[in-house]
Structure 1
Amino acid sequence: MTVRTQDAAQPWHTHTPLFTGSLLADAGALMAYTTGAEKLLADLPVKPERSPDQQQLAQEVTGEQRRVRSAFLRLHAERVYEELTGGLCEQRGLSELVFAAAEAFPGLTPTESQMAAERELAQADKDGREIDQGIFFHELLRAPQAGPHLLEAMLRPTARARSLAGEFARTGTLELGTVRLERTGRTAHLTLCNGRFLNAEDNRLVDDLETAVDLALLDEQVRVGVLRGGKMTHPRYQGRRVFCAGINLVDLHQGRISYVDFLLRRELGYIRKLIRGARVDDGWPRPLVEKPWVAAVDTFAIGGGMQLLFAVDHVVAAADSYLSLPAAQEGIVPGMANLRLTSLAGARLSRQVILSGRKLWAHEPETGLICDEIVDPNMMDAAVEAAATRLASPAVVANRHMINLAEEPPEHFRAYAAEFAMEQALRLYSPDVIDKVSRFSAGASVARRTGEPS
């Protein structure tokens, strides 16, 4: 590293640790190294007030720390995870795990106070500490023992869902904030109600959806789940259902989209539960409770909305709807779409949709590779009900289990998830994404007035 601003940085840099393979010794060296680095960063002005030389120094210091953290985890990921989980006897969620790592191995991941400070800033003004969380999860997911154990832990029902299970079993209905959950006969209807933002995804919606998915899976009266968007109140879509407008880019610009609690949790949590089910320890003959899912696409399924279609068993789309994955416009990785759309639709169409931003209208033949039925908008209710009835057969669960194993073997998913954990963290702070979301935010008020989705 070449220090460009002040000679005071040089003594810190000369103490870059050489790890020996001893966890205790290497953890001590990491802590000493990062303590010096963090002191240097703390002496600099906040990011918006730094001179070009100061910003260059900050980038070099953080970059060097990331290389050191990666080297430490390449040696010790398994041992670190064992320490954090009591020898693989405890199962922890993503946030709990990454903050426990910050306490047990100082300097390895950002602390809760460091992340709290980052959350107060717009995306462009952050130092990108979530990239350090990405390094952590990248190496854990790659590890042969830690990776599968972590993925299994993410299939457990959330504490919130467990606390609400009795109420839902008794009443058959719950208002979760941005999701309404209602049991009708043997079907659980999960209705997205984030109407102010055309059902765009944010941290709250991810939490509400995972809770609803868990409750539908745990409820013994439910055989099939249905995902659908609620009716909008915006003038452009007044009274019409909208499935999902993708990630909330206003929240992304303002720094309110969490890498751990949104971008990682949605993929390893509720979306994967749609495919694999929820893990229940006393379940026999399998510890996973699985159920088939129907998705109903009204108006559009954009970004994360389209991604949901790859995780369900049957898709009904209105004839006037469309699908899109605007990854090229947003600059981030569209979840597991690169893995699943290729399996469904082939490499060429996947590249057209993901790399070039091709929009698929319901009437196009290629849309049939993703949607099972294209129906008149007035027939959506009947088509969704009929699909749910067909999937309620007990044999469906066993067969979808085998199909999902064939289409997405666990080790194949784990390898992809490990790379996704790193790539998405890097993209979240890349200059082109910062520029795009800033420009989007500048025009957000216009978009809200006209009802244009992200």
Structure 2
Amino acid sequence: MITTAAPDPASVWPVPPPTFGDALEADASALAEYVATGEALLAELPPKPERDASQQRFAEAAHAAARIARRRFLALHTDAVYDALTEGRSRYVRLPELVESAAERFPGLVPNRAQLASERAFIQADRDGREIDQGIFCGAVLRSPVAGPHLVDAMLRPTPRARDLLHDFRATGRAELTSVLVERRGHAAHVTFRNAQSLNAEDDQLIADMETAVDLVLLEDRVRVGVLRGGEVDHPRYRGKRVFSAGINLKDMRNGAISFVEFLMGRELGYINKMLRGLLVDPSAWLWSDRVTQKSWLGVVDTFAIGGGMQLLLVMDRVIAEQDAYVSLPAADEGIVPGLGNLRLTRLTGARCARQVILGGRRIQMTDPEARLVCDEVVPAEDIDEAVERAVCELGAPAVSANRQMLNLAEERLDHFREYLAEFAVTQVARAYSDDVLAKVEKRWQRSRSRAEGSGG
């Protein structure tokens, strides 16, 4: 068993770090051999919860050394790797499949299926953070002006699940998913969060369901407007009330059930980006308007929109909120990056207010003057349905689609979005495994469990 004090990452393994050149296959072999040597040493260690301090320092140094090598390899070969995985960009491969293919085709570059499965046996705090290696890979691909736009396009394509459900949705006007309900009413499709047990918080299942729902809305020709609203919840404090969204499910995050690829990256590259930019239906078209099909989106806020819930409002064409509601991005409290909130909030509220919300944890109540910067209309709860019908009529006008497209092109360049996500991929996954975040989610989980036990739940 290894018990020595942790050496410098660069000298942790008995072989020197690989020297890379310009030959993909030779460099890939060198990387694979180097990483395999380290993995053999890591395999001698007990799982993280059972390690002593010296063993944990060694493990951290070993992973750091491998990450240095991966970064150096990708600095030279990102485009060649991406081309190998997509047959010269002739295939559009979604991010989960891309990362899995990278593990098979280039051993040691990202964690393989067995390594990820091994980590899933533990809560987040007891893992080695192999998803960090996925973040390094995703960041490199998105940063590339060649591979990055192609990946963005791949994630704007309709999902197979939505295509399978489309015929029935067109016939019935209804799609009932695990955590989301989609209903067509006239020229509007109403998408309702139904994670009632968790205040409509976002988890892996909801992210997958939302992308399917958004695809269905965008593929149905009779729909001109999408309406996003939270359903009624089961929480004792809000039972029977609609809640827009409580943001990321921190209990799932503590338990390691919030995935980096499917959730943290998938929501930004998937359904939220589709809401903003549309669904890619003709990649060969020259004009963006010919490449995508897009619709107007209306957000309806009942009670609150916290974290990821507020982030969704930043891509809506119109937002209606009840007068007692509030919005917030509690990034400073949670310790993670609030998605693309840092990119998008400033252009709505200005820099000072955005910093108060993101860095200081400020809530914006619908009675605050600043509420008009993030919501278009604030009404009493009993007037929301009427306001929604009026907004659906206005957003369904023929000229709206073309003008929203031009507004979005002016406000958020695709390259700006891609470059932000390249940094986000690396920063967010590192935050998800940082000591302060893990301590916060554990404290919240313990507090929640104590309340449940105290109430007999």
The answer, yes or no, to whether TM exceeds 0.5 is yes
Change (3 A) 1:191 1:121: same
CA contact (8 A) 1:298 1:317 kept: yes
| 1:149-176 CA distance string (max 9 Å, x none) | 0001100011110100001000001110
Partner Cα separation in structure 1 for residue 362 and residue 141 of structure 2: 35
Deviating more after overlay: 296-305 vs 14-23: 14-23
Question: Match of 2:76?
Answer: 75
Aligned to 1:202: 203
* Deviation (angstroms), 1:117: 1.5
Tell me what 2:350 maps to.
Answer: 346
The answer to whether the Cα contact below 8 Å between 2:306 and 2:328 also exists between their aligned partners in 1 is: yes
Q: AA paired with 1:199?
A: N
TM-score norm. by structure 2 comes to 0.95
Q: Aligned ranges for residues 59-74 of structure 1 at < 5 Å?
A: 59-74=60-75
1:359 aligns with 2:360: no
User: What amino acid sits opposite 1:235 in the alignment?
Assistant: P
Does residue 302 in structure 1 map to residue 303 in structure 2? no
Pairing 1:389–2:393 present: yes
Report the residue type matching 1:122 in the other structure.
I
Equivalent residue, structure 2, for 1:12: 13
Aligned to 2:428: 424
Q: String of CA shifts for 1:88-127, please: whole Å, max 9, x gaps.
A: 0011111100010011111000001111111221000010
From the superposition, tell whether residues 70 and 423 of structure 1 become closer, same or farther in structure 2 (CA, over 3 Å): same
Aligned mates of 1:6, 1:398 — CA distance in 2: 59
Structure 2 counterparts to residues 99-178 of structure 1, below 5 A: 99-178=100-179
* Distance apart, 1:226 and its partner CA: 0.2
1:283, distance to aligned residue in structure 2 (A): 9.1
Quote the offset at 1:14 in angstroms: 3.4
| Aligned pairs for 1:26-425 within 5 A | 26-281=27-282, 286-425=290-429
The CA distance in 1 between the partners of 2:270 and 2:293, in whole Å, is 14
| Kept in 2: contact 1:198–1:244 (CA 8 A) | yes
Shift of 1:22: 1.2
Q: Cα offset for 1:385?
A: 1.2
Give me the whole-angstrom Cα distance separating, in 2, the residues matched to 1:116 and 1:356.
Answer: 37
Percent of residue pairs identical: 53
- Structure 1 residues 442-451 or 262-271, which shifts more? 442-451
Q: Contact 2:156–2:274 (CA<8 Å) still a contact in 1?
A: yes
Supply the distance in 1 between the matched residues of 2:319 and 2:125 (Cα, whole angstroms): 38
Is the contact between residue 316 and residue 383 of structure 1 (CA under 8 Å) also seen in structure 2?
Answer: yes
Asked if the contact 1:345/1:369 (under 8 Å) is kept, the reply is: yes
* Shift in alpha-carbon separation, 1:448–1:182, aligned structure 2, 3 A: farther
8 Å Cα contact 1:216-1:225 kept in structure 2: yes
Q: TM-score, normalised by structure 1?
A: 0.96
Could you tell me how far 1:305 is from its partner in structure 2?
0.3
Deviation of 1:11 after TM superposition, in Å, equals 8.0
Instruction: Tell me the alpha carbon deviations over residues 411-434 of structure 1, each in whole angstroms, 9 at most, x when there is no partner.
Output: 111110100011001101011011
Give the count of matched residue pairs: 448
- Provide the rounded CA distance (Å) in 2 between the counterparts of 1:94 and 1:335: 17
Rate the CA distance shift 1:448–1:236 in 2: closer, same or farther, 3 A. Answer: farther
> Secondary structure of the residue that 2:237 maps to in structure 1?
helix
Structure 2 CA distance, aligned partners of 1:11 and 1:443?
Answer: 40
- Give the C-alpha shift of residue 388 in structure 1: 0.9
For the 8 Å contact 1:186–1:224, the answer to whether it is kept is yes
Pick closer, same or farther for the CA change 1:5–1:273 going to 2, 3 Å: closer
Q: Structure 1 counterpart of 2:17, which letter?
A: T
Distance 1:450 1:301, change over 3 A: farther
Secondary structure of the structure 2 residue equivalent to 1:255: coil
Q: Are the aligned partners of 2:332 and 2:361 in contact in 1 as well (CA < 8 Å)?
A: yes
Q: Counterpart of 1:12 in 2: which secondary structure?
A: coil
SS at match of 1:127: coil
C-alpha spacing 1:324/1:446, structure 2 compared with 1 (3 Å): farther
One-letter code aligned to 1:312: M
Paired with 2:367 and 2:316, the residues of 1 have a C-alpha distance of 21
Distance 1:179 1:449, change over 3 A: farther
Give the conservation status (yes or no) of the 8 Å contact 2:199–2:234: no
Residue 12 of structure 1: CA displacement? 2.7
Deviation per CA, 1:201-225, whole angstroms, max 9, x where unpaired? 0000000011000000000110000
Residue 48 of structure 1: how far off its partner (Å): 0.5
More deviation in 98-107 or 229-238?
229-238
Deviation string 1:209-253 (CA, Å, 9 cap, x unpaired) is 110000000001100000000012333212211000011000000
Structure 1 397/11 Cα, relative in aligned 2: closer, same or farther at 3 Å? closer
1:288 Cα deviation from its structure 2 partner:
0.3
State the secondary structure of the residue aligned to 2:353.
Answer: helix
Alpha-carbon distance in 2 for matches of 1:334, 1:127: 23
The alpha-carbon distance between structure 1 residues 447 and 411, as it changes in their structure 2 partners (threshold 3 A), is farther
- Once residues 130 and 118 of structure 2 are traced to their aligned partners in structure 1, the CA distance between those partners, rounded to angstroms, is 10
Q: Give the deviation of 1:313 after TM superposition.
A: 0.2
Q: 1:34 to 1:187 in 2, by over 3 A?
A: same
- Separation of aligned partners in 2, 1:185 and 1:109: 47
CA deviation after TM superposition for structure 1 residue 448, in Å: 6.1
Amino acid at match of 2:160: A
Distance 1:5 1:322 in 2: 48
Q: Structure 1: any 5+ residue segments left out of the alignment?
A: none
Q: Partner letter of residue 367 of structure 1? A: A
Q: Which ranges of structure 2 fall in alignment gaps of 5 or more residues? A: none
Q: Is the 8 A contact 2:176 2:182 kept in 1?
A: yes
CA distance in 2, matches of 1:176, 1:283: 32
Q: Contact 1:236–1:450 at 8 Å: present in 2 too?
A: no
Is the 2:156–2:270 Cα contact (8 Å) retained in structure 1?
A: yes
Would you say the 8 A contact 1:95–1:260 is kept in 2? yes
